[in-house]
Amino acid sequence: MTLYASRVKIVKYPRFAKCQRFVILNTTIRIASLICTILARCKNLSPTDNSNRNFTLRQVSHLAPPMDTGLYLVSTPIGNLGDITLRALETLAGCNLIACEDTRTSGVLLARYGIRTPKISYNEHNASRRDADLLRRIGEGQAVALISDAGTPLISDPGSRLVTSVIDGGFSVTPIPGVSAPIAALVASGLPNDEFVFGGFLPNKQGARIRRLEEFARISATLVFFESPKRLAASLADMVDVYGSERRAAVAREITKMHETFYRDTLSGLAGKFAADGAPKGEIVILIDAAPAMTMSDADIDRALTTLLADNSTKYAATLLADQTGLSKRTLYQRALSIGENNEKRK
């Protein structure tokens, strides 16, 4: 702000003219300086203002270092706000802008730690519009943090296209690791964790859901899925049909929160429990034991089904072989139908 001091004409007290001119000019400068400070703080116009990079931890204020230009993918707590990492706090306080899945939800976390970095919304509804603006800001030298409502960004959340654009633009993308619901559920599930496959959210409709589950039928690794509480019982029933009733599984609910609960049983046991109890409350992770390490040729499968069909119904024969091999019950049922039709034609 440029200040212009005009000559003040003093008529009544000419002998004190110089003193009064000095007082008026000095007061004007102080008022103008105060106005500039207020405007800068209100609009966050001063990226070098240290007060904007402060965060509070256990009632002690800390100054975060300014972050280098680029995109920062910051993991946030999935329930317990105490699970935030020190590096995440420094990043959120030291960057120029935070892109949040929901500014209100993230506002609770930021307020808890006294972080005043400006924030904007970034979610599945506006991601296509926000990408260009965030890329422009990074191109201008800003540091932008991307966070989801809970957990690690991009895991079942938008942002992959933004990451690709930032990389293609020649800028850095830095992960700030932290809590992840699939990993937390896996390590406490009691199932093998040396190999696992994360399948994200399953489709809403049963037909699409079963087809999706069948894609994982022969994978010899622990399977991890997110699911809505309202669809939990239906999804578990479909998993029984696809993977067999005796496959070990676990359901994790409200991980890191007050009512965190793990249910461990066979797929049929879990399906029966939630069918009887109704939909639980909270966030859900489903984990399924790896498929049995068994390889069967098509000819072996047909021979096994033919043997089972001699004494059992088509559906039960498929169920028995699915339990024994870990193969898809639906696929085996279709093969058993074909075998039965061929046998009828021969008669």
Q: Is residue 293 part of a domain?
A: no
Separation in Å, CA 116 to CA 56, 109, 147, 262? 11, 11, 15, 37
Helices (H) and strands (E) in the chain, counts: 12, 12
Same domain, 64 and 159: yes
Q: What is the pLDDT of residues 247-295, one digit of tens each?
A: 999 999 999 999 999 999 999 999 999 999 999 999 999 999 998 766 6
Same domain, 147 and 81: yes
**Least-confidence region, from 21-25, 169-173, 303-307:** 21-25
| Rounded Cα gap, residues 15 and 155, in angstroms | 76
CB atoms within 10 A of CB 301: 18
| Rounded Cα gap, residues 249 and 266, in angstroms | 5
Task: Kindly tell me if the per-residue pLDDT of 340 is higher than 60.
Answer: yes
Higher pLDDT, 329 or 126: 126
Same domain, 69 and 165: yes
Same domain, 280 and 203: yes
Same domain, 213 and 321: no
Q: Is residue 282 part of a domain?
A: yes
Domain count, the chain: 4
Whether 89 contacts 113, CB under 8 Å: yes
**Least-confidence region, from 36-45, 70-79, 183-192:** 36-45
- Residue 255's CATH number: 3.30.950.10
Nearest to 3 by CA among 14, 15, 20, 24: 24
Same domain, 19 and 60: no
Q: Is residue 273 part of a domain?
A: yes
Same domain, 231 and 303: no
Q: Which domain holds residue 222?
A: 182-288
Q: Is residue 211 part of a domain?
A: yes
The mean pLDDT of the chain is 85
Q: Is residue 327 part of a domain?
A: yes
| Rounded Cα gap, residues 341 and 191, in angstroms | 40
> Which of 26, 43, 60 finishes a domain?
43
Q: Is residue 152 part of a domain?
A: yes
Q: Burial letters for 222-234: b for 16+ Cβ neighbours within 10 Å, e otherwise?
A: bbbbbbeeebbbb
